[in-house]
Structure formats: structure tokens, C-alpha cells
Amino acid sequence: MLETIWFLLWGILWAVYFMLDGFDLGLGTLMPFLAKTDTERQLVYRAMGPFWDGNEVWLITAGGVTFAAFPTTYAVMFSGLYSALMLVLFALILRGVSFAFRNEVDSPRWKCLWDSCLTLGSFLPALLLGVAFANIFRGLPIGEGGLYQGGLLTLINPYGLAGGVLFLLLFLVHGALWLAVKSAGVLHERAAAMAAKLWWPLLVVAALFLFASSRATTLFVNYAQTPVLFLIPVLAVAALVMIYVFMRQGAWWKAWFASCVTIVSVTMFGVVGLYPNLLPSSIDPAHSLTITNSASSPLTLKIMLGVALTFVPIVIAYQVWVHFLFKGKVREEDLAAEEGY
């Protein structure tokens, strides 16, 4: 029972991370296409500035839960996928320092350098996280004793790349919608138009990925055994459609929240399909890492559950407060503030 609770918590934390940091990653990737002047680029920074570091707390939390609750899975994941995860880490570092360094020197070349770092540091995690999770859904070449028998190129397969493109498009739409919510004038119009354009390829890729999942993975086994679980992919499809409906109505906050539901539902579709596996083996199902053979002791799980129930609500309360505090649109007069980016 404890292992199942922690498995669900593990999946939910990853879903929340993708939902929250997804708009930062998407918006950072889109910045060269949306912001045409230095002032507009600063407004894009300002739209992300108060939130991005708090959003990444959920990445640390998800990684921490993997380490504390399923240490064997953590060891195999972070050793076998070392190269891919280091690329993600370096990209996130580039993205983080761009916020701090961009306006330290009043030089167009200097600002262009850090704007490029923001874009690259947003694009790579969005793509690589999708590739990584798609490969987990598909199964990794894990042999006896939990030894990963592949390399970085093992992850570069059609299904893995499809997952990367899907995550990237989810985050791009999410980011464009966020800027449409937070901006006004020409910048708002560009963001709204970009979200509308990207929705169509997202719809196509999502349908193709769902079909590919039925062929390349065993995710649908759990759904076939428990049909009520089909509510999760149905919710994902409904939320994706509602994004379009709300965009047509000009209800940008509602469209963004529908995008949140889409990202969470897509993530949970894969997580629920994995159960009870955490890292399925493509070599032999007997070598898969599951919630039973990779979990910590019951005592550790009990203690950590108490810690999670204490501190996760505090993090949620803090982030709700931050979003309430900075709920207004970003405007040029905000850029004069010390943290105006």
C-alpha cells in the first residue's frame, strides 16, 4: 500500500513540475519568435521572472522522491541516463543564469548571448524530458542486476523522439498561452496567434503518439484490465479540445488552465500505464524495476510520507501566494523595478 501511495505521489510530482515549469520552458523557447525588441524581450523575462525558480522546486522534489522512496530506480535512472540528464542539467543552469546576468552589462551582444542561453536552456529540457519519459514508457534495456545496457543513442528512436516532440509542443502552447495571459498590446496578439497556430500540430502529434503508444508500449494493459482508467486519456483529449474552444472565445486564463489539465493528464496517462513498473525492461520483464523491488523500507516510506504531507502543502501555499502577488499583466513601467529583468 505504501509503495502504491509513493508511486502515485512520484507521478503527481512529475506532472506538477511539467505543468508549472512547462510554461517557462515553452516561453523561453518561443522568445525569439515572439519578442522583436529589447523591451519586448524584457517583458518576456518579466512574465517568467517571479515564477521560474519556484517552479523548478518541483523538479528537485520529484528527484528527491525518486531517491528517497525508490533508491534502486534512482540509481539506475541517473546512471543509465547520465548523459541525457547531464544535458538537461547544464541547459537548466544556462537558463537560470541568463535571468541573473542578462542586464548586468548594457551591451546588445551581451544581452543577445544570454537571450540565446535562455532559448537553448529552455528548448533542450523540453525536448529531452519528453524523450526520456517516452523511452521509460517504451522500456529501457535494463539487464540482470539493474544494469543499463544502452547509451545516449539508445534513446534516439522514433517513439522516443515522438515523445520529445509531444512534450515540446505541449510546453510551447502552454508558454504562448501564459504570455497571452500576462501581456497586452502587440505582444499579447503575437502570443495569442502563436498559441492558435501551434495547437493544430499539437493535436496531430498527440493523436500519433497515442496510437504509437498502443503499438510500442504496454501502457494500455492496465487500462484494458481497469476500463475506468480510460477517464484519464479522455480527460486529456477533452482538455486539449477546450484549449481551442477557450482560445476562440478569448478566455486566455481558462485556456491556460485547460493546458494545465492537458499536461497533467498526459503525464498521468503514462504513469498509470506503467504501474507497478517504474523502469520497465525491454530485454526481459523480469529485470524491470517495480514499486516492490526498488522501494525503500516500510519505515522509511512512513517517515518520508509524514515529511511530504508536512512540507508539500507549504510549497503549494507559497506558490499560490506568489501567483496571486504577481497576477497582473506585465507592463513596460514594471521594468524600472530592481528585479525588472
State pLDDT tens for residues 250-262: 999 999 999 999 9
Q: When comparing pLDDT for 337 and 169, which is higher?
A: 169
Q: Among 208, 215, 229, 234, which Cα is nearest to 275's?
A: 229
Every domain of the chain and the residues it spans: 2-336
* Predicted pLDDT at 340: 47
* Predicted pLDDT at 80: 80
Q: Among 58, 47, 57, 6, which Cα is nearest to 23's?
A: 47
pLDDT mean across residues, the chain = 91
* Predicted pLDDT at 291: 92
State pLDDT tens for residues 24-75: 999 999 999 999 999 999 999 999 988 888 888 899 889 888 998 999 999 9
User: 276: helix, coil or strand?
Assistant: coil
Q: Is the pLDDT of residue 336 over 80?
A: no
Q: Where are the alpha helices (DSSP H) in the chain?
A: 2-34, 38-48, 52-69, 71-80, 82-101, 108-138, 158-182, 185-216, 220-225, 231-249, 252-274, 298-325
Stretch 303-308: mean pLDDT: 88
Q: Read out DSSP for 308-336? A: HHHHHHHHHHHHHHHHHHT-SPP-GGGGG
* Predicted pLDDT at 331: 82
Render the burial of 182-194: b for 16+ CB within 10 Å, e for the rest.
bbeeebbebbbeb
To 10 degrees, the CA torsion angle through 238, 198, 51, 164?
90
Q: When comparing pLDDT for 1 and 37, which is higher?
A: 37
* Predicted pLDDT at 338: 54
State pLDDT tens for residues 62-91: 988 899 899 999 998 888 888 888 999 999
Q: Is the pLDDT of residue 3 over 80?
A: yes
Residue 337's pLDDT band (cuts 50, 70, 90): low
Q: Is the pLDDT of residue 164 over 90?
A: yes
